[in-house]
Amino acid sequence: MSKRKHVNKVVLAYSGGLDTSVILKWLQDEYNCEVVTFTADIGQGEEVEPARQKAISLGIKPENIFIEDLQEEFVRDYVFPMFRANTIYEGEYLLGTSIARPLIAKRQVEIARLVNADAVSHGATGKGNDQVRFEMGYLSLNSKLTIIAPWREWDLNSREKLLQYAETHGIFIEKKGKKSPYSTDANLLHISYEGGILENPNAEPEEDMWRWTNSPEKAPNEAEYISLDFKNGDLIAINGIELSPANLLRKLNELGSKHGIGRTDIVENRYVGMKSRGAYETPGGTIMIKAHRAIESITLDREEAHLKDELMPKYAKLIYNGFWFSPERRMIQSAIDKTQENVEGRVKLKLYKGNVIVVGRSSPKSLFNNNYATFEEDVVYDQRDAGGFIKLNALRFIIAGNVRK
C-alpha cells in the first residue's frame, strides 16, 4: 500500500452507526488527525441528534460537530429538478440514493472550507456507486481536498470485524433488537434495501422487509381521490393546500404508503461494472412522477415532449453515475427547465392498492383543443388534408419501391 498522505483535519460524513463510528476512531488512530463530523438530516426518519453524543463520546470537540437539517434544500434543489425530467434509471429506479449524495458532498466541502480542513472522508465501500458519487462531488467542488475512503484502505471487510474493532476500541454500538439482514439507506424520497436474501435475484423478499408501505393486499379496500397542483413543473399543492417542498413530499409518502404504492424490486447495472439486486420504496415519488407526466401531456408540444423523453435516459445515467455537478448535467437541466415554463395546472388521481391512476388533468395553458380532437362534427379540420400529408411522408417509400421493381 502506498504511503498515506498527511492530513491535519478531516470532515467525515457521519451517521453515528457502526461503520462511521469505527471510521471516526480509525481516522484518529491511522491518520492522527483532527476529525470533524457532519450529519445530514435529509428525512431518513431516524433521530440525528444521538450522533452528537456519540461523536462527543469519541473525543470530538462540540465545535467540530455539524448536524444540519437539509430536507427542504434536498427536495427543492435536487429532487424537484430531477423530477422535472421524469427521471427513471433503467426503466424503474427513481434514484432516491443517487440524488442525495451530491448534496451531502457539497455540504461536506462547504464545512471543510469553514473549518479549514484539508481532507474529507465517507463510509462508502469500494464495491458500490456511492464512493463515485461522493468523490465526484468532492473533486468537482474542491479538487485540492484529500479524499479518505477507509473501505479501500483497511481490512475490516465484514460486520464481525467492525464489531470486534468497536469492542477493542471502546466504541459503544447500540443493539436494536434483531439485526436486519439488509443494508438500508433512507431519505425523504425513498428507502433502499440490499444484501441478505436479495443477493439471490430469484428469491422473493420477506413481507416484513418493507418498512414504509402497506402491501397492496393490506391496503384500504376503497380508493382515495387526490389532486396535485403544479407550477413551472414543480409540485406546489396537494388537495389545494400549498406546502413547502419537503412537506409536500412527506404528505405524498404518507398517502402512497397507505395505499401500497411505490415498491420496486430490480436488478440494476452499477457504474463499477457489476449487477446488483435492490428493493426500493418510493411512495411519494411514484405518485409525483405519474402526475407530472399527466400535466405535461396537455401542456408540452409534441416534439418538445418527445425530445425531453429522449434526453431523460442520459440525464438519469449522469445522476446514477455521480455526475450531478458536470457541465453536461447542467446543460440538460437548463433545457429541461426551459420546457417547464408552461407546465402548470391540476392533476386528479385515484390511489388504490398499489396503483396510481390518472383520472383528470386541467391547465390554463393546456394545448388540448377539443375543436380539433373531437370525433364529432367540426369546422376547423379538413380531413381531406390528411391524404396529402400521408402521401408526402410516404414519398421516399414510393420512390424506393418503384426503383426496386
Please give the positions annotated as active site. 19, 101, 130, 183
**Grid coordinates in use for 139?**
473533486
**Length reported for the chain:** 405
User: CA geometry: angle at 319 spanning 274 and 291, to 5°?
Assistant: 115
Q: In whole angstroms, give the CA distance from residue 211 to residue 188.
A: 13
Question: How does DSSP classify residue 78?
Answer: I
Q: In whole angstroms, give the CA distance from residue 41 to residue 403.
A: 68
Q: In whole angstroms, give the CA distance from residue 10 to residue 28.
A: 10
- Rounded (10°) CA dihedral 26, 27, 31, 33: -140
Buried b / exposed e over 13-29, threshold 16 CB at 10 Å, is bbbbebbbbbbbbbbbe
210: closest CA among 200, 223, 219, 222?
219
Amino acid occupying residue 32:
N
